[in-house]
Chain A
Amino acid sequence: MIAVLVETDADGVLVVSQEALTFGRGLAERAGGVPLHAVAVGRPGEEPPAVVLAQLGEQGVASVHHVVDDRLTAYSAAAWAAALVDVSHSAGAAVVLAAGTPRGNEVLAHTATRLDVAMAANVVGIDAVGADAGDPLIVTRQVVGGAVLEQMQLGDTVAVLSVAGHAVEPAAAATATTPEVVEFSPTLTDADLVARVVRTGEKVPDASGALTSARVVVGAGRGAGSADGFKDVVRLSELLGGAVGVSRVVTSLGWRPHHEQVGQTGSRISPDLYIACGISGAIQHWAGCSSAKTILAVNTDPDAPMVTRAHYAVIGDLHEIVPAINDELESRRA
């Protein structure tokens, strides 16, 4: 079977975990229709929420291993991995995968180390499944911030891989299922619980969560010129009900906070529209915004990578163009 670690929140299964499930289902089908299982960490005495079960059913999940233990209330990657390894052994997983989130990659790194197998991070495709048991799984994954693809062979008994964000669109299975819920108590040691969260602070309302879920992101880079050069960009994002995203140079210069950074070492976004103002489009930034459905670039350089890769562009200084767009939006509203 193929086991997918799913992350959930109050709204159900995270979109990135739904993507991982869709990816896992595609792999299961290519492997001849092996069952797709989900692994979810829950609270003792509570059933998995109905919305989670419905979403897992839409993805064609046969069984959900509902991992429950009082000691898992506070997150510990080692403890989650212990549970995933237990499920993998007891249910006979040939592949263990998760979304390539910070938590997904961390838990899988522990899992692969405990299983003494390789791990492929940020996988975007399956190249070969192999006709026989024991044949290597060959995957393609993103490296160098997505600027390069690596074909990698996973030749171990269990393949461990994380799925890059937006590698696939979440898609419902042809036939929905009613997942069997299997309560599961993992075997945990004290060592598994040493590195766990001791405090969780108040979530900052405008932190990167808003950026990654925004339908429109207005980005700005070095072309903003200074810390005072973002007023019009912020106004445009407000007029469109979106979020502000910036390039790494902007945060390195201290012009804007790091949680607004889009890129390889910032947030990876996939809005319906990304308006990139004064951003050249270097690898570091492109790694974070390439999944936007539509890109509008505003740049003085018609040959900048961001312009040539965009769907639409306006050539010129963002400090002249963005205020004009804001004025036009406001006048049409009036």
Chain B
Amino acid sequence: MTDVLVCIKRVPGASGEVLLSDDGQRVDARHVGWTLSAHEECAIELATQVAGATGGTATVLTVGSADAIEQLRDALALGCGRAVLVEAETDRIGPVDVAAAIAEVVRAHEAAGTSYGLVLLGNDAADTGDFQVPVRLAYALARPVVTGIATCTVEGDLVVAHGDGPDGPETFELPVPAVVAVMEGGVAPRYPSVMGRMKAKKVAIEQVAAEIEPVGSGRVRLTLPPEQPSQVQVLGQGADAAPAVVDLLEELGMVSR
């Protein structure tokens, strides 16, 4: 039986125009809404698969504001059984702080009788893209860690993890307990069922305050890349444009004749 903890983050959606707050300290998501990182959707799927296969539990956790309860309930609707919100001021925390806050909860739950044999996270958050919370968490917990993982299973006392390496598909075998950072591509996240959504609404969410003195992220400010005026040259409309396209391909040296 493996109890799994999956850590997620509330991030701005990536489907529309990005705006920034006036002080350049955060993304203003009023037009794009909030969602989960793609990697974390897959981590939730893996968490429920591992918990289901081993007869264990899947608990979802996030560090941030109370608004992130929306994302916790999304994960509950996808099969997680418990949820934890570690309340923290998102503007004041960085990857070191997030890892420390998660480690605190892992230790507290362990003391209360739930030992997570597997902690799953997304490989990197869609907004800050720090690429380091899983590794810092593993060091804080003195556990082995591997990142960039597409699929994993727990077989006895081993986490067997598969990812894509530079020389081909790679397999890692880590002793339980372990930390694994998940990359999109290995599993297809499920869609929540109506029943799942109904059940998720009724789950009591554990809320704790982050007992950390924040180190911060080092952020000075955010800016938007300068918008380049469109210089697109329209070659034509519909199939009639094909000769112009092939002329262009020849001009660019893309066609061998």
Contacts and interface: CB of A to CB of B under 8 A. Distances in A.
Name the prevailing secondary structure of the A interface residues: mixed
B156 interface: no
B166 A7 contact: yes
Interface string A95-132: 00000011101101110111000111110000000000
A240 B254 contact: yes
A264 B186 CA distance: 16
Contacts, number: 261
B220 to A, nearest CB: 4
B18 A102 contact: no
B12 to A, nearest CB: 7
Interface string A66-83: 000000000101100000
A273 B254 contact: yes
A201 B183 CA distance: 18
A122 B236 CA distance: 38
Interface stretch (B54-62, B73-81, B107-115, B242-250): B242-250
A278 to B, nearest CB: 14
B52 interface: no
In the complex, which of the residues A103, A195, A321 has the most CB atoms of chain B within 10 Å of its own CB atom?
A195
Interface residues of A, number: 96
Contacts of B126: 144-145, 264-265
A155 interface: yes
B18 A312 contact: no
A120 B18 contact: no
A198 to B, nearest CB: 5
B142 to A, nearest CB: 8
Contact of A152 (B148, B218, B249, B252): B218
B255 A313 contact: no
A332 B222 contact: no
Given A200-B169, A264-B14, A254 B235 contact: no
Given A7-B166, A143-B222, A153-B220, A296 B248 contact: yes
- A-B pairs, top 4 by smallest CB distance, nearest first, are A258-B185, A324-B242, A324-B239, A109-B135
Interface of B: 12, 14-16, 18, 20, 27, 37-39, 94-96, 123-124, 126-132, 134-136, 139, 144-148, 164-175, 178, 183-186, 188, 215, 217-225, 228, 230-246, 248-249, 252, 254-257
